[in-house]
Structure 1
């Protein structure tokens, strides 16, 4: 009798004992988890179908939120259909690799027929060239630096596959220097911003999505050449609210076991707010960060907002 293939959730449970905080290895100037670096050629050589959609973000910038909005738009707001599998299976994480039997992002993509929705945290210069050669659509979501740093800090505390974050005051410096997984926030947001017109990238801002989700969902719909009714748009606004997504087991990563994501330290969907950074930065840290931010962002005019 043929053995039934493992579900994604079961594969993670079985591999949990092999999980550790993997070190970062430099790939073309960008620190990536060692498991990704060791498989880099396969990632870099990935050839998407022209119909594939790439959702790109710096970690903890609204990735899962964007994935859920896109999935609901593609399925006309059908909430049950969008619970067919966890986010990581519906929209595979291109570069991620983990100990067997956990399938890599590439493994999951091989099992899917185009058009596929693909997630990446890669900065634009590391995105496989095939996405640009095949003129794939790309949605990029960016979040203001201070809230992004806070969210990434709490994520690194609970995600036991990423390097130990250490204390908050030291983490701020690592964030400013780009010494975290996937590198510099500054380089990341600027890279996609500069190429957005030439490469037809839909560039979204997290703060705009919080302030007026309906407007941003409509922007995504038009970009994807879709047409859904006003009622469906309203349903998607409700289904992708932070409260609803936090309670959705197919979107909140609650299926990932404690040796991988220890949600007793910090939950995957923590607050989803704009301006929570004020509860973490001291006035001196904020001043130091602001001075560095002004230097690093002086060559672009991305309209980030630190409160709404």
Structure 2
């Protein structure tokens, strides 16, 4: 690791103690680690011990056959992963159903999300621990996967390998931050990351102050937007996927050099309909739900709606969001689709 650290340009800087206290008052860190440390010139928020894994990821060996799906959290990541995997694997629905998406398409920084020793402390049964470990990949396991590898990350492009786009293909998905915040809040509540009674308005104010994991949101998107014309990058909006999934599936097929028929596209779109997707055991983390990692009352795949934020924002929050978005989009031609 000493050699890796020499070529890792990012140092961690803890957020100030007052902000850490706010996070401790809002988050439940029994199982999942708090994000309290900023990395890099953009100040992306990660866990305190992220640096070691971050160096491994930054220096990981890439292969020309690798396919990455990269997003800020809750931007349609799971949806896009399943779409990409099926197109790339000639619509092998049987193989997809036989193995969880986390196994087929591992989340490369997932191991840093857990509190050290929390799995063995919280889950006493060996079978439960085994199920949990299946969903939390160590990078060594990823390095040993056969080609082609399908890899998921929420890291901004600047914190992935600098050789990424010159080596392999990347599908990046962006989404309106208001819908992202709502989805991320519900996800955090479902995964027992929040203390009881943690309200959305508080979450939103943490989000726009870059005190939610993987923020700052707009810096994450802008990095990808600036590279959208690279031949190995396909930049999509969640809103485009929602509005015309078939067209996006064709774009992905073209990007992956795959020929597809209209019949295949039609079947794929039916497979990916939210109502069908919610019932798909290979993508909705039912094994984690069964061992108590997240609440039994909810579903990992939620509504998937565009504009659902309107049900959660009062007038003050809506105006605040509009101003925040305008300020952050002022220096870029990045705009979210309006459907």
TM-score w.r.t. length of structure 1? 0.87
Structure 1 residue 269 displacement after superposition: 1.0
Structure 1 residue 174 displacement after superposition: 1.4
Structure 1 residue 91 displacement after superposition: 0.4
Q: For 1:112-167, what per-residue CA distance to the aligned partner results, in whole angstroms no more than 9, with x for missing partners?
A: 11211110000111112231342x1110011111111100011111223x565932
Structure-2 residue corresponding to 1:197 = 229
Structure 1 residue 105 displacement after superposition: 4.4
TM-score w.r.t. length of structure 2? 0.79
Structure 1 gap ranges (5+): 1-17
Does the 8 Å contact 1:46/1:130 carry over to 2? Answer: no
1:114 paired with 2:126, answer: no
Does the 8 Å contact 1:137/1:200 carry over to 2? Answer: yes
Structure 1 residue 39 displacement after superposition: 2.5
User: Secondary structure at 1:39's aligned position in 2?
Assistant: helix
Structure 1 residue 108 displacement after superposition: 3.4
The structure 1 segments of at least 4 consecutive aligned residues displaced by more than 6 Å after TM superposition are none
Structure 1 residue 237 displacement after superposition: 0.8
Does the 8 Å contact 2:54/2:159 carry over to 1? Answer: no
Q: Distance in 2 between matches of 1:235 and 1:105?
A: 34
- Correspondence 1:201-280 to 2 at 5 A: 201-257=233-289, 259-264=292-297, 266-280=298-312
- Correspondence 1:81-100 to 2 at 5 A: 81-97=95-111, 98=114
Structure-1 residue corresponding to 2:163 = 130
Structure-2 residue corresponding to 1:10 = none
Q: For 1:208-265, what per-residue CA distance to the aligned partner results, in whole angstroms no more than 9, with x for missing partners?
A: 111111000000000000112221111111111111111000011111135422242x
In structure 2, do the counterparts of structure 1 residues 263 and 38 end up closer, same or farther at CA, with 3 Å as the change threshold? farther
Q: For 1:181-208, what per-residue CA distance to the aligned partner results, in whole angstroms no more than 9, with x for missing partners?
A: 1111111111100111146310001111
Match 2:56 to one of 15, 20, 42: 42
Does the 8 Å contact 2:165/2:230 carry over to 1? Answer: no
Structure-2 residue corresponding to 1:287 = 319
Structure 1 residue 19 displacement after superposition: 5.9
Size of the aligned set, in residue pairs, is 287
Structure-1 residue corresponding to 2:212 = 180
1:21 paired with 2:32, answer: yes
Structure 1 residue 37 displacement after superposition: 4.0
In structure 2, do the counterparts of structure 1 residues 243 and 26 end up closer, same or farther at CA, with 3 Å as the change threshold? same
Larger helix proportion of the pair: 2
User: Secondary structure at 1:139's aligned position in 2?
Assistant: strand
